[in-house]
Amino acid sequence: MSVSMRQEADTGFVEIDNPPVNAIGHAVREGLLKAVKWAEEAKLARVIVTGKGRAFAAGADAREFDSAPKEPHLPDVLNAIDESPVPWIAAIDGVALGGGAEIAMACRMRIISPKSQIGLPEVTLGVLPGAGGTQRLPRLVGLARALDIITTGKPLTAQKALEAGLVHQVADDPMQAALGTGAEALQRIVPTWTLPAPDADEGAFEAARKAVAKKQANQTAPLKVIELIRDTLAEPFHQALLAERTAFLELRNGAQSKALRHMFFAERAAKAPAWLTAEPVSLKHVAVVGGGTMGAGIAYALLNAGLTVTILETDAQGAERAIANVEKIISASLKRGLINDARAADHRSRFAASSDYSTAADATLAIEAAYESMEVKVDVIGKLEAALPKDAILATNTSYLDINEIAAAASDPARVVGLHFFAPAHIMKLLEIVRGDHSSDTSLATGFALAKLLRKIPVLAGVCDGFIGNRILARYREAADTVLMDGATPWDVDKAMVGFGYAMGPYEAQDLSGLDIAHANRRRQDATRDANRRYIPIADRMVELGRLGKKTGAGWYLYPETGGKAEDAAVAELAVAAAKSAGLTRTAYSQQEIERRLVLAMINEAADILDEGIAQSAADIDLVTVSGYGFPRWRGGLMHYADSLGAGNIVEALEGLALEDAVAWKVSPLLKRCAENGGLLADYVPTR
């Protein structure tokens, strides 16, 4: 049943019942329209509409957005509610989002429970409110507030919604409060659609445009909604709705909305694969080895999820440093209002740091986040094996090292698994779960269970240099370094990638993480590097000069004490000198060409990663690139973007580049196969 109706005396009770979150699909729309007619025919005094379960309604069913719209359309259903002689009350207990909030706004009255949220997050799916939200919300909360709510997509708490005038009442039991509202009181409230629209205020539009340019550059929906509201504010309500509908459908069918919907559903589909039926170990006490930035971030994430955490360090001084690092995160979270004093005290009560491994003797999981050296990792695994229970899972947070080699140091390699967090570990959503040759299903299942507990996005990866994300990153940087050597500057490259949609380009990002990290990696790879592969020495020269990035005040950019970053002609000269000593003639690259090369390099590598079975699906690579590496979400992730370009076009472009350098641009066999048979990367299931 999608919508149920029940009458008691002169009150109608309408319940939306479409688990798990009451998405408003075709059957719900039909049910609501039927309910309007039913209430009118029964001449009821009022209707109280609620949602069954944990949501009032989560909005239009976004799964229907790929097919042609089917009548009755939601705007028509909501007009019927708003214009009905029988007044409707929305009793909201749970989220009322998108179309769910629009149902509520079409009701005469809105009562909400304190823990509920209400909002219009449509822009996060690349669309705009398409069932009257762009017209009813400004009438209820004023223009500036409405623009803010709709363009940011951020839901309001019950209290904020009350203050804004979006709801009439906050009540612990909205149903009881609704029952207590008499017909007379209801009749005094006018239907939302009859409220006057606010006056046009150019200042409010300009402020909204500026905010969008700052935070949502390149995204079409937020700007479109501002212009839509501006164009329709003075129009009659129903005429404005027609314009809203046209704009909604246009966005819904556009590439950005498809990409954002793909990400929305990919994130929700990210869970343990069906074949992984093993039970995870029970998680209560977790040991984290190493209390540096990464270890402290992991420890805080674990504390936040209610676990007991012991950081294991090499000596007492290290333990003190670890405590200070975790304390820093607790204080920052307190300051930002993310936790309160009681929660902070609770975190502290479950946290300890020590150099004595026996203090973690009952931990069922250890996450090693020590220094990135095989020798160190092997030593740590030995110590953990000696101190922890025989069946504890031993996870390594290594970014690049061979997990099979680390596991070989354990007497039972089945207990060893990779859990690759991203810094800052308490904020970044991605968790690569790396499956070693001998990792047991229990180890993997524990990784997935942990991700769920930490509310992270888990992606299963196989063992190779860099797993999924860092392996793609290596090719991205290689392509960047190559254009740098052959004719560009770091800021040309960064501007091109910011233009593509990254928050920052590869050189600024490297300045933040430190050039010494990538340098150490290159030294590690020296012994195995393909001798035929071009090696660009500029980054090594930077390290020799002590330009390690922001932390040393100079990297690819200069970081003056007064703040900000500045381009440095000396770096551009370094590239010119490197090219000269290699006997190269440099050429100018357009931003478009830089972007093309860097993106193609990533796609080519990612296709190999998929083909080799290192990633289980193209969607997993999309999750990694968006959640861990800043690939623009509105492009749907690297592989979704690749599919939008078409394998045939990609292969043609790569073959062109291979004429310059056949090693670096060797075309991925998977891309060739897709080009030949017209297949999509999204549909490819690796067999290895």
Q: Measured from the CB of residue 443, what is the shortest distance to ligand 3H9 in angstroms?
A: 25
- Whether a cis peptide bond, with omega within 30° of 0, leads into 389 is no
Q: Measured from the CB of residue 268, what is the shortest distance to ligand 3H9 in angstroms?
A: 4
Q: Measured from the CB of residue 246, what is the shortest distance to ligand 3H9 in angstroms?
A: 12
User: Which C-beta is closer to ligand 3H9: that of 14 or that of 225?
Assistant: 225
User: Which C-beta is closer to ligand 3H9: that of 71 or that of 320?
Assistant: 71
CA–CA separation, 245 vs 267, rounded Å? 28
497: nearest Cα among 513, 510, 515: 510
Q: What 3-state DSSP class applies to 466? A: coil
688 exposed, middle or buried (CB, 10 Å; 0-12, 13-18, 19+)?
exposed
CA–CA separation, 247 vs 262, rounded Å? 20
Q: Measured from the CB of residue 100, what is the shortest distance to ligand 3H9 in angstroms?
A: 7
Q: Measured from the CB of residue 561, what is the shortest distance to ligand 3H9 in angstroms?
A: 43
| Residue among 15, 102, 368, 385 flagged as catalytic | 102
Q: Which residue has the tokens 């003056």?
A: 560
User: Which C-beta is closer to ligand 3H9: that of 133 or that of 506?
Assistant: 133
User: Which C-beta is closer to ligand 3H9: that of 257 or that of 396?
Assistant: 257
Instruction: Report CA-CA distances (Å) from 669 to 565, 569, 607, 666.
Output: 41, 41, 8, 9
Q: Measured from the CB of residue 535, what is the shortest distance to ligand 3H9 in angstroms?
A: 45
User: Which C-beta is closer to ligand 3H9: that of 98 or that of 318?
Assistant: 98
Give start and end residues of each alpha helix (H) in 487-537. 490-500, 506-513, 515-525
Q: Measured from the CB of residue 139, what is the shortest distance to ligand 3H9 in angstroms?
A: 16
User: Which C-beta is closer to ligand 3H9: that of 26 or that of 438?
Assistant: 26
Locate 267 and state its tokens: 């994130």
615: nearest Cα among 682, 530, 675, 524: 682
User: Which C-beta is closer to ligand 3H9: that of 150 or that of 387?
Assistant: 150
E strand or H helix at 58: none
3 exposed, middle or buried (CB, 10 Å; 0-12, 13-18, 19+)?
buried
CA–CA separation, 633 vs 322, rounded Å? 34
Residue environment code for 159-184, b if the CB has 16+ CB neighbours within 10 A, otherwise e? ebbbebebbbbbbeebbebbbebeee
Q: Measured from the CB of residue 27, what is the shortest distance to ligand 3H9 in angstroms?
A: 13
222 exposed, middle or buried (CB, 10 Å; 0-12, 13-18, 19+)?
buried
Q: Which residue has the tokens 């930002």?
A: 336
75: nearest Cα among 128, 16, 139: 128
CB 686 within 8 A of CB 612: yes
User: Which C-beta is closer to ligand 3H9: that of 3 or that of 480?
Assistant: 3
| Residue among 41, 71, 122, 267 flagged as catalytic | 122
408: nearest Cα among 442, 439, 384: 439
CA–CA separation, 176 vs 15, rounded Å? 15
**Which residues have CB under 8 Å from 592's CB, separation 6+?**
496
User: Which C-beta is closer to ligand 3H9: that of 257 or that of 668?
Assistant: 257
Phi, psi (rounded to 5 degrees) for 463:
-85, 125
Q: Which amino acid is at 468?
A: I
Instruction: Report CA-CA distances (Å) from 244 to 131, 194, 224.
Output: 8, 17, 10
CA–CA separation, 438 vs 560, rounded Å? 49
Q: Measured from the CB of residue 59, what is the shortest distance to ligand 3H9 in angstroms?
A: 3
- Please give the DSSP secondary-structure letter assigned to residue 556: S
Q: Measured from the CB of residue 74, what is the shortest distance to ligand 3H9 in angstroms?
A: 4
- Catalytic site includes residue 122: yes
Binding site for ligand 3H9 (CB under 6 A): 20-21, 23, 55, 58-63, 74, 95, 97-99, 102, 121-122, 124-125, 127, 129-131, 133, 265, 268
Q: What 3-state DSSP class applies to 221? A: helix
User: Which C-beta is closer to ligand 3H9: that of 97 or that of 112?
Assistant: 97
User: Which C-beta is closer to ligand 3H9: that of 30 or that of 478?
Assistant: 30
CB 591 within 8 A of CB 492: yes
Q: What 3-state DSSP class applies to 416? A: strand
Longest dimension (CA), the chain: 91
Active site residue ranges: 102, 122
